[in-house]
Every structure is written in C-alpha cells, then in structure tokens.
Amino acid sequence: MQRALKWFAVLTTIIMLFVLIGGALVTKTESGAGCGNSWPLCHGEFVPSEITFELVIELSHRLVSGLAGITVLILSIWSWRKIGHVRETKFLSLLSTFFLVLQALIGAAAVKWGQSDAVLALHFGISLISFASVLLLTLLIFEVDKKFDAKTIIIDKQMKSHMIGIILYSYVVVYTGAYVRHKGASLACPDWPLCSRRAGGMPVTLHEWIQMGHRLAAGVIFIWIAYATWRAIKHHKHQKVIYWGWIIAFILVCLQVTTGALVVITGLNLYIALSHALIISCLFGLLSYFILLVSRNKLNLENQAVLDESNEKTNF
C-alpha cells in the first residue's frame, strides 16, 4: 500500500507540473478565450462543434486541471490516513487542495467575467503554491521510509534568513514575470540586458518599465541565490541536503536567467518560454523544501541538545 501511495504521489506531482505548464501555454498562445465565456463547457457545448487551435489548448488545460483536482483530493485523503502522524501532512494536504480550488475559481472567473492583468498574474503564483504543496507531500511520503531524512539537519540563523527571504522574494519575481506576460510586455524591450539602444538603454514607456522591473527583480534573486550557494559551499559541506540543494538552486536560477534572455532574443519562442515557466516551477519547489527544513529546525535543535546532554552524562 505504501508503494502504491508513493507512485500515486509522484503521478500527482507530474500532473500538477502539467497544470502549471498548461496555464503558461494558454497565456503565451493567448488561448484564454478559446472556449468563449463559457465554463466549464466550451461555447456552452459538451463536445464543441467548431474546433480551433485556441479551443484545443484551453480545453486541454481545463481537462488536465480537472484531473489534477481529482488526484490531489485523493492524495490528500490517502496521505492523511496513512501518514497523518507526520507533523506537516495535514497542513500540506489542506494547502494543496485549497490553492488548487482557488486557482480553478480564478480561472473560471476570468473566463466568465474577465479580470484585470494584475489579478490574472496571481493565477500562476497560486498554482505554484499548490504544486509545491503536492511536491512536499510527496517528499514526506518518501521520507517515511527514510528516503529523505531531514531530522538531523541544523540550520544557522543566517542560512535560515536566506531561505525564508529568498522564497518570499521569489514570489515577487514570479508575480512580476506573470504580470509581464498578461500585460503583453514580454517583447517591450528588444535588447538584453538593457532595454534598447535608445535612451541609453533605459526604459521609456510603461510596458518597458514593466519588463525592466521584472529583469531587475530576476537579477536580484540571481545574486541572492548565488550568495546563499556560496555560504552553503563554505559552511555546510557536512550537510549534503543544504550543500547540494543550494548548488541545484543556483543551476536552476542560471537556467532561468538564460531562458529569460533567450525569450527576448528569439522573439518569444514558445518552447523556450515554456522552459522558462518549467524551471521557475522546479526552483520554487526546491525553495519550498528548504522552508520545510526550516520549520523543523527548532525541533532538531531540541533533539540535538538532548542527545548532547545524554552523551555528556555517558562520558561522565
């Protein structure tokens, strides 16, 4: 039964990843109105009579999202029953379900009544939280069999601050990126890293400022993750999860910056743009795992103190 739960958790995580990529595909191909203003049906029909490219993209995304809703609900209940004794299980089960429903409602509202670009930009971020919750739930399931053992990890105050600060700031970067897409500002600046050859490379129009604002935010998180990785390499070689975790995070943020530049250079190539969304999803999932480690830090410190005290008594 435990093996079946593991496979189902992995499957659900993959489906959630497809939901994220599907949402990005809908936005990048401007297929949000592919089914008209009808939801959950397309143009009020169960089987659409007129098939268009936009309809196929939008309907496929709805079907995958519906499948994700079913699998996430099953995984949440199954995990609650099987590993509910693990401290984070119930919270993550509720979180993944809540945010999946929330992103579906925002998507439905956008179809039925329309939404501002600022509100639509939240859609990807909300889906990202649901994905991260499912990913962490999957890691907990594997952790039960000691595939992932984080009970001995002690995180110092500086590293803890970086972990919390970076994931909070990453959400700002994600939002600004989503806002760029919904505002239609992806190619507002034809050059990279500066905006254009005029005005000394500085932005002039509103869309250019939106695009450059996202680039600035992305540049800050690149530097921040690079510094955190340097600290992990220097001070946490003995903690492999922290050491390799930050190295992977740095590789992902490098790929994120690279694909972001290529999106501009290639004139919004669809495959590169989707890769950009995939990489940030993986990076956010990894950063979320760091937060799981941070949440256990106090308990780990207490357990370490008890163990040290026991060793002192034994040596005495």
Residues annotated as catalytic are 58
Two structure tokens written together for 116: 């501002």
Contact 225, 249 (CB under 8 A): yes
Cα distance between residue 290 and residue 169, in whole Å: 14
How many helices (H) and strands (E) are present in the chain, helices listed first? 9, 0
Could you tell me what percentage of the chain is helix, strand and coil, using 3-state DSSP and rounding each to the nearest 5? Answer: 75, 0, 25
> Binding site annotation covers 123?
no
DSSP structure class, residue 192: S
Computed on alpha carbons and rounded to an integer, the radius of gyration of the chain in Å comes to 22
Distance in angstroms (rounded) separating the CA atoms of residues 247 and 264: 26
214 is in an annotated binding site: yes
The single-letter code of the amino acid at 55 is L
Residues of the binding site for heme: 214, 276
